[in-house]
């Protein structure tokens, strides 16, 4: 079972991924902790951990509330993005929002809440807590951006690396367009084409569709 919950002002896709009859992993709880909590109750699911595809606030903003609500469940992130979490992370988040313009900077002051520190870190190829999810390190949007891939489910949770008909922005601090394209072309597009794509924002897709019809990749001349 995979359940999508759209949260926050940037319409982030948070995902509930079942790993047992009443247990799940929660990917990218970016905002609206109460909405997420209510949905988990309806599904009769208890999260075992919070997984972040990267450290940006719109993907991690509800982590503290969810962690507290579920007995301090651990939060995991790639080691290269660990600076986005913890009490010293505010300036890093502010700089990221400021790069998106004055309106984004204004929303930051309304939105920001201190994020808890990471409880564990993962790297490329790591299996997540004995589940079927495997980490794929896909830098570009941020240095520590990852996707979570399940061969069993034919599912890829791509965060802000790859979307339906677009790719993640790199016009932010530490963004790198060359790395992003390399991550997509040499890692994601090596997976089976019928893999379902669960992105960090926007509609769901498949890898096959993006391999042939992604306008951003076509503009970059890689398709």
pTM score of the predicted model:
0.96
User: Could you give all domains of the chain from N- to C-terminal order, each with its CATH number?
Assistant: 2-219 (3.60.15.10)
Rounded percentage of the chain residues whose pLDDT exceeds 70: 100
Identify whether the C-beta of residue 62 lies closer than 8 Å to the C-beta of residue 32: yes
Q: Summarize pLDDT for 22-44 with one digit per residue, the tens.
A: 999 999 999 999 999 999 999 99
In the chain the beta strands, taken as DSSP E runs, fall at: 2-7, 12-18, 23-27, 46-51, 75-78, 120-122, 134-137, 146-150, 155-159, 162-163, 166-167, 196-199, 205-206
Which tops the pLDDT comparison, 99 or 181?
181
pLDDT digits (tens, 9 = 90+) for 68-112: 999 999 999 999 999 999 999 999 998 888 887 777 777 787 888
């Amino acid at each position: 079972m995979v359940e999508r919950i759209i949260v926050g002002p940037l319409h982030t896709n948070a995902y509930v991924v079942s790993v047992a009859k009443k247990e799940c992993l929660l990917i990218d709880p970016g905002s609206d902790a109460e909405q997420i909590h209510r949905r988990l109750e309806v599904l009769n699911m208890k999260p075992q951990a919070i997984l972040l595809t990267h450290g940006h606030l719109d993907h991690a903003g509800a982590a503290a509330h969810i962690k507290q609500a579920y007995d301090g469940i651990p939060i995991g992130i790639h080691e290269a993005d660990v600076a986005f979490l913890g009490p010293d992370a505010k300036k890093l988040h502010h700089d990221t929002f400021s790069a998106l313009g004055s309106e984004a900077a204004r929303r930051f002051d309304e939105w920001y809440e201190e994020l808890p520190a990471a409880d564990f870190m993962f790297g490329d190829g790591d299996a997540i807590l004995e589940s079927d999810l495997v980490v794929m390190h896909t830098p570009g949007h941020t240095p520590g951006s990852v996707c979570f891939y399940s061969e069993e489910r034919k599912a890829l949770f791509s965060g802000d690396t790859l979307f339906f008909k677009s790719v993640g922005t790199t016009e932010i601090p530490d963004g790198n367009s060359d790395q992003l394209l390399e991550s997509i072309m040499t890692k994601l597009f090596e997976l089976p084409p019928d893999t379902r794509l669960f992105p960090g924002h926007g509609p769901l897709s498949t890898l096959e569709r993006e391999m042939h019809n992604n306008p951003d990749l076509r503009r970059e001349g890689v398709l």
